[in-house]
Amino acid sequence: MRVWLLLIAALSAFDVQAHRFAPSLLQIQQMTQDSFAVTWKTPIQSASDVALVPMLPENCGDEEISPWIQEGTGKLQQRRVRCEDGLIERVIAVKGIPENQSSVMLNISLLEGVSHQAVLNPEATSFRVPREPNSRQVIGRYTVLGAEHIWAGIDHLLFVLGLLLLVGGGSRLIWTITAFTAGHSVTLAMVTLGVFDYPVALIEFLIALSIFVLAIELTRERGQSTLWRHPWWLAGGFGLLHGMGFAGALADTGLPQANVPLALLFFNIGIEAGQLAFIAMLLGFGFLARRLSPTYSASWVQLPVAVLGIASAMWCIERGLEVLG
């Protein structure tokens, strides 16, 4: 009973937001030769008393600043600044990253279709705007961005956890994860390249529903359903939905126009790297649990199944209401 009360209290405390601790976003759009529109979005809840503050180069001065507005679990402010001689070879930083142990996605769009992306973190709190992006920068930045996105998306991680609980280890796990990867890779690429669009609220609801269906499946005895015998169909089908969610995050960040295929490829590789690291961590935890408590380790599975069921049910209600407007 204490475990259930703690579980419900924890879910309530976090408002059941799948991306509550998502990275901040600093977007800079060049309007004219020396005029720029700056958008700064950061989570309302912070991990430190030190505020995250964008630091523009010394040659930049504010012309207009909008009031803060709330967007979901974040707050947004827009500014119009004038930077004499532009931003090329200038340093852009964000103050307070080490204190908050957070990351910031930096998206800079210059004239003539030139764009730059960077991920600022405690090890690299600033970015010098280069004259043009190179392939090595794109590979590094988008790999990190993909890994960070999968780790920041609690709903995606819970689905991977459910797949692991459903299939266990061995070849079944390999085939199931491969199907999930293939599914979300297809829709991630198609949406990013503009092949089709989708209703964001509906897809977010269906992602929550996919976790709920998986939780229900985990309450049944093994071997009693087609989904258990062929879990790769479940993983591949719902992977298509999760790929649209990944594409939404990538669209918010932006792509370097000269390296779109490369950025897309390594964003996906970053997702897979983060996903495999999460699976390795879960397998290691399961091995340790069996060694420490071989008698009761099987009963521990009930707790993560309960987490999947309660969290996904609340997400379904919350996101379903958003779909209905």
User: pLDDT higher for 59 or 246?
Assistant: 59
Cβ of 62: how many Cβ atoms within 10 Å? 11
Beta strands in 46-131 (DSSP E): 53-55, 60-65, 69-71, 74-83, 91-95, 104-109, 115-120, 126-128
How crowded is the C-beta side of 280, counted as CA atoms within 13 Å? 6
The label of the residue with tokens 């142990």 reads: 101
Report H helices in the chain: 2-13, 97-100, 135-152, 154-167, 170-192, 200-218, 226-229, 231-253, 260-292, 302-324
- Shared domain for 187 and 302, answered yes or no, is yes
pLDDT band per the 50, 70, 90 thresholds, residue 112: confident
Instruction: Tell me: pLDDT of 287 over 60.
Output: yes
Q: Are residues 118 and 180 in the same domain?
A: no
- Each residue's pLDDT tens digit, 36-78: 999 999 988 877 888 899 999 999 999 999 999 998 788 999 9
Number of structural domains in the chain? 2
The predicted pLDDT at position 222 comes to 65
Q: Is residue 206 part of a domain?
A: yes
- Across the strands, what pairs with 42? 75
d(CA 256, CA 236): 29
* Pair 220, 180 in one domain: yes
Average confidence score pLDDT of the chain: 83
192 and 319 inside one domain: yes
110 occurs within a structural domain: yes
Do residues 233 and 308 share a domain?
yes
Does the structure show a pLDDT above 60 at 297? no
Q: Quote the pLDDT of residue 9.
A: 47
Specify the range with the lowest mean pLDDT, choosing from 1-10, 36-45, 280-289: 1-10
* pLDDT reading at 313 higher than 90: yes
Q: Are residues 88 and 178 in the same domain?
A: no
Length of the chain counted residue by residue: 325
Domain shared by 247 and 174, yes or no: yes
Distance, C-alpha 52 to centroid of its chain: 20
Last residue of a domain, one of 98, 132, 166: 132
- pLDDT at residue 133 tops 70: no
Instruction: Report whether pLDDT(311) > 70.
Output: yes
pLDDT band for position 107 (cuts 50, 70, 90): very high
Whole-angstrom distance, CA of residue 311 vs CA of residue 16: 7
Query: What does the pLDDT average to over 7-15?
Result: 47
How do residues 146-166 score in pLDDT, each as one tens digit? Answer: 898 888 888 888 888 888 888
Structure tokens at 290: 């069996």
Give per-residue pLDDT as tens, 193-234.
888 888 888 998 999 998 998 888 888 776 566 677 778 888
Confidence of residue 18 (pLDDT cuts 50, 70, 90): very low
| 220 φ, ψ (degrees, to nearest 5) | -90, 160
- Let me know: does 306 contact 188? Beta carbons within 8 Å: no
Higher pLDDT, residue 122 or 253: 122
CA distances from 10 to 5, 16, 17, 47, 135 (A): 8, 9, 12, 17, 43
**Whether pLDDT at 20 is above 60:** no
Do 158 and 124 share a structural domain?
no
User: Is 5 within the bounds of a domain?
Assistant: no
Is residue 272 domain-resident?
yes
Query: Are the C-beta atoms of residues 159 and 211 closer than 8 Å to each other?
Result: yes
Confidence of residue 15 (pLDDT cuts 50, 70, 90): very low
What pLDDT is recorded for position 19?
A: 42
Does 199 fall in a domain? yes
Q: What is the pLDDT of residue 229?
A: 76
Residues 6+ apart with CB under 8 A from 171: none
**Is 100 in the same domain as 205?**
no
Judgement on whether residues 242 and 197 belong to the same structural domain of the protein = yes
Within a domain: 293: yes
Same domain flag for 176 and 100: no
- Is the pLDDT at 115 greater than 90? The verdict is no
Using alpha carbons only, what angle is made at residue 41 by residues 38 and 44, rounded to the nearest 5 degrees? Answer: 150
Closest CA to 254 of 115, 136, 152: 115
Q: Where in the sequence is the domain holding 256, given as residue range(s)?
A: 151-324
- Burial category of 314 from C-beta neighbours within 10 Å (exposed 0-12, middle 13-18, buried 19 and up): middle
Strands 24-30 and 104-109, by their bridges, are parallel
**pTM of structure:** 0.60
Q: How far is residue 169's CA from residue 183's CA, in Å, rounded to a whole number? A: 20
Distance of CA 228 to the CA centre of its chain: 28
Q: Do 28 and 126 share a domain, yes or no?
A: yes
Residue 139 domain-assigned?
no
Is residue 146 in a domain? no
